[in-house]
């Protein structure tokens, strides 16, 4: 029954930490995007960020998993991540001091009279009551999140008390004391702490267990120190598991976390026993309590950071050498990390960045296909097809990723951005499809040895120049979210439509004069239709950017109004018509 009570206490402890951390991440998620950029600008800022976040959510494993996700997605560099990880390692020591409050007993009347209010059993019911009241009666989601934070903290402390009560009977157990004595061997102690933390996947939880066991009075400093240092290595297991599906940078962040703790443990444990060999520390054989465990835990964290913080760049190089580059690291599945969905603002930002990459792929494919009309190259044609396949993969992965994000709790701004991305990825994918169609027309021109008249070549050059500009404007308008650029797309699209009609009419006149053949006409018509469809998709991109900036999405209404009433539209149309006149 004591074992079951210990397991139940651990379960409550873990659940409390998880509930509290999730509520805190949810309430802070909308501001996390801006915070990361500012607070990781320097190593010290990154360290402070890791320390602060971990001190709040009470789990270095949770912080490190988030950091792996940020590095995996490109939101954070590996060097920035290392400083945040170091801060997280120090921040998690706060939990040991909080849980150490459970060790405040009844002895010492004067001390207890002054500090009794710190004992969790004195004030935890009030915290739990406040949390329940907020969850049940608060109307705003942010206040409900605060209630969840308070309840999570209460459950965490109740779990600590249960674990302490469950092991209370071990005080007089000779068998238990004999088991602990073997941990006087530092290597066994490190392994014990490592395995314990790897199983529960939380150094805070394993430290809590050790603190509970310390109430038996059977654990000495000499036995506890190796266990505590081993727990710091064991906490890396969560991040390592999280990095299994990550790209090279995500794996490097997890490996850097592992190296930080392993190097710190090996160096400082060796230094401690080397000095103890000569100094013969008296406290090694004395009994350790909850506060002593918290102190050892904190001191090691600070010493490890002091040792390795100046060598962050070398730690980055070591992680880079360990996890080498692979060919598929730029695959969309590697760029879109599902772990970021826990913080929707970051996930939407990353999806936007990946969509910008997709836009570049589609536009590059079209530009290359246009060049093949006049100068055909088989390798370039294959490259266009490869780019089109890549754009297809990006659309599939982005579409699935965006649907998953849509199920999260989004702000109004993030919801608008999500809607925009869902519409725009289809347009960019279709642009890449038209690039392949143009390649097929270029191959037909080459295989049939067709040669357009000089007049037709000149007209096609005007059309392709207009298409090149509308592509550039569309790509920049999306990537920079520039409304003024987006407003210039529709006037140019109208000019492209007009060019298409004029070139077709001119071809008919040349056909009547026997200057061109019907076969030329088929190929020319295919090219013009593809160009016109590309400009239509560019128009959709521009219209979507503008409409969602005004909290609406009625492209037909927008396009109708802008053509009929907008003076700027007429001015831009006249300028483009003059620039691309035949």
| Structure confidence at residue 177 (pLDDT) | 46
Residues 6 and 41 in one domain: yes
Range in 185-199, 361-375, 491-505 with the lowest mean pLDDT: 185-199
Q: Region 534-560: what's the mean pLDDT?
A: 74
> Cβ contacts of residue 55 below 8 Å, gap of 6+?
91, 92, 94
Domain finish residue from 299, 322, 345: 322
Tell me the angle at which helices 518-549 and 555-565 cross, rounded to the nearest 10 degrees: 100
pLDDT tens sequence across 407-441: 887 777 788 888 889 989 999 999 999 999 999 99
288 is a domain residue: yes
- Indicate whether 361 and 458 sit together in one domain: yes
Q: What is the pLDDT of residue 113?
A: 46
Flag whether 328 is in a domain.
no
Same domain for 379 and 517, yes or no, is yes
More confident residue, 82 or 59: 82
Give the pLDDT of residue 487.
Answer: 87
pLDDT tens-digit series, residues 182-240: 656 788 888 888 877 776 656 776 777 777 777 777 777 888 888 888 888 887 876 77
Domain check: are 369 and 503 in the same one? Answer: yes
> What is the spatial distance between Cα 506 and Cα 474, in angstroms, rounded to a whole number?
29
Q: Looking at the structure, tell me whether residues 472 and 348 fall in a common domain.
A: yes
> What is the per-residue pLDDT for 146?
83
Question: Residue 423 maps to which CATH number?
Answer: 1.20.58.220
Whether 292 maps to a domain, the answer reads yes
Q: Of 270, 301, 322, which residue constitutes the final position of a domain?
A: 322
Between 389 and 197, residue with greater pLDDT: 389
Q: Chain-wide mean pLDDT for the chain?
A: 79
Please determine, for residue 69, whether its predicted confidence score (pLDDT) is greater than 70.
no
Distance between CA atoms of 107 and 152, rounded to whole angstroms? 29
Residues 371 and 411 in one domain: yes
So what's the pLDDT on residue 528?
92
Give the pLDDT band of residue 280 (cuts 50, 70, 90): confident
- Share of residues in the chain with pLDDT > 70 (%): 77
- Range among 88-92, 291-295, 370-374, 408-412 rated most confident: 370-374
* Spatial separation of the C-alpha atoms in residues 289 and 164, rounded to whole Å: 12
Of 240, 243, 191, 167, the closest CA to residue 6 belongs to 167
pLDDT (mean) for 385-395: 90
Work out the percent of the chain whose per-residue pLDDT is above 90: 19
Same domain, 25 and 68: yes
User: Could you tell me if 424 and 354 are in contact, meaning their C-beta atoms sit under 8 angstroms apart?
Assistant: no
Q: Enter the DSSP assignment of 580.
A: T
Strand partners, 145: none
| pLDDT at res. 107 | 43
Mark which of 259, 287, 322 sits at the end of a domain.
322
Number of alpha carbons in the 13 Å side-chain half-sphere of residue 49: 26
Q: What are phi and psi of 287, to 5 degrees?
A: -70, 140
Question: What pLDDT is stored for residue 61 in this prediction?
Answer: 64
Check whether residue 443 and residue 504 sit in a common domain: yes
CA distances from 358 to 33, 192, 398, 486, 544 (A): 22, 49, 10, 18, 17
Please give the average per-residue pLDDT across 485-496, as a whole number.
Answer: 90
Q: Distance of alpha carbon 358 from its chain centroid, rounded?
A: 18
- Asked whether residue 313 falls in the same domain as residue 346, the answer is no
Please tell me the pTM assigned to this model: 0.54
- Closest C-alpha to 204, from 79, 98, 67, 131: 98
Confidence at residue 536, expressed as pLDDT on a 0 to 100 scale: 92
The pLDDT-based confidence of 554 (bands split at 50, 70, 90) is: low
Residue 300 sits in the same domain as residue 435: no
Please state the domain count of the chain. Answer: 2
327 lies in some domain: no
Domain of residue 459, residue span: 333-579
Distance CA 166, CA 139 (A): 39
Whether 363 has a pLDDT exceeding 60, the answer reads yes
Q: Which residue would you say has higher pLDDT here, 379 or 560?
A: 379
Same domain, 260 and 169: yes
The answer on 350 and 437 residing in a single domain is yes
């Amino acid at each position: 029954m004591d074992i079951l009570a210990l397991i139940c206490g651990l379960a409550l402890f873990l659940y409390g930490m998880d509930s509290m951390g999730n509520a805190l991440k949810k309430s802070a998620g909308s501001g996390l995007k801006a915070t990361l950029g500012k607070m990781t600008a320097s190593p010290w800022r990154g360290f402070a960020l890791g320390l602060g976040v971990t001190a709040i959510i009470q789990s270095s494993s949770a912080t490190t998993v988030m950091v792996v996700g940020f590095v995996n997605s490109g939101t954070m560099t590996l060097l920035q991540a290392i400083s945040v990880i170091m801060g997280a390692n120090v921040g998690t020591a706060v939990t040991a001091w909080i849980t150490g409050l459970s060790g405040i007993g009844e002895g010492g009347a004067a001390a207890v009279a002054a500090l009794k209010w710190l004992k969790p059993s004195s004030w935890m019911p009030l915290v739990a009551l406040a949390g329940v009241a907020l969850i049940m009666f608060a109307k705003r989601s942010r206040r409900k999140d605060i209630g969840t934070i308070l309840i999570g903290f209460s459950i965490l402390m109740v779990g600590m008390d249960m674990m302490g009560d469950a092991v209370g009977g071990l005080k007089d157990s000779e068998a238990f004391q004999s088991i602990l004595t073997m941990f006087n061997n530092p290597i066994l102690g490190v392994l014990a702490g490592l395995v314990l933390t790897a199983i529960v996947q939380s150094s805070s939880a394993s430290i809590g267990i050790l603190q509970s066991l310390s109430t038996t009075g059977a654990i000495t400093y000499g036995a506890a120190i190796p266990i505590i240092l081993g727990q710091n290595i064991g906490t890396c297991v969560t991040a390592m598991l999280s990095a299994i599906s990550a790209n090279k940078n995500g794996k490097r962040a997890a490996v850097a976390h592992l190296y930080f703790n392993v190097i710190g443990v090996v160096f400082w444990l060796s230094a401690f026993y080397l000095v103890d060999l000569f100094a013969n520390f008296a406290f090694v054989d004395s009994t350790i309590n909850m506060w002593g465990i918290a102190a050892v835990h904190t001191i090691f964290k600070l010493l490890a950071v002091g040792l390795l913080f100046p060598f962050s760049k070398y730690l980055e190089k070591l992680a880079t050498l360990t996890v080498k580059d692979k060919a598929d690291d730029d695959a969309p599945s590697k760029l879109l990390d599902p772990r970021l969905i826990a913080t929707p603002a970051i996930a939407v930002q990353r999806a936007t960045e990946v969509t910008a990459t997709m836009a570049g792929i589609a536009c590059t494919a079209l530009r290359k296909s246009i060049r093949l009309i006049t100068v055909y190259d088989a390798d370039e044609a294959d490259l266009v097809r490869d780019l089109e396949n890549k754009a297809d993969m990006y659309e599939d992965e982005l579409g699935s990723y965006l649907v998953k994000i849509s199920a999260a709790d989004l702000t109004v701004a993030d919801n608008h951005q999500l809607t925009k991305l869902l519409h725009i990825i289809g347009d960019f994918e279709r642009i890449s499809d038209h690039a392949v169609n143009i390649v097929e027309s270029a191959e037909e021109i080459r295989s049939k040895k067709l040669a357009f008249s000089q007049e037709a070549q000149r007209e096609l050059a005007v059309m392709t120049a207009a298409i090149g500009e509308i592509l550039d404007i569309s790509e920049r308008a999306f990537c920079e979210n520039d409304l003024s650029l987006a407003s210039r797309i529709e006037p140019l699209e109208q000019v492209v439509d007009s060019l298409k009609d004029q070139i077709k009419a001119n071809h008919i006149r040349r056909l009547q004069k026997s200057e061109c053949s019907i076969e030329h006409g088929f190929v020319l018509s295919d090219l013009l239709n593809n160009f016109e469809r590309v400009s239509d998709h560019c128009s959709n991109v521009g219209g979507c950017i503008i409409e969602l900036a005004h909290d609406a999405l009625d492209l037909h209404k927008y396009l109708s109004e802008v053509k009929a009433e907008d003076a700027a539209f007429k001015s831009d149309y006249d300028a483009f018509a003059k620039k691309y006149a035949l």
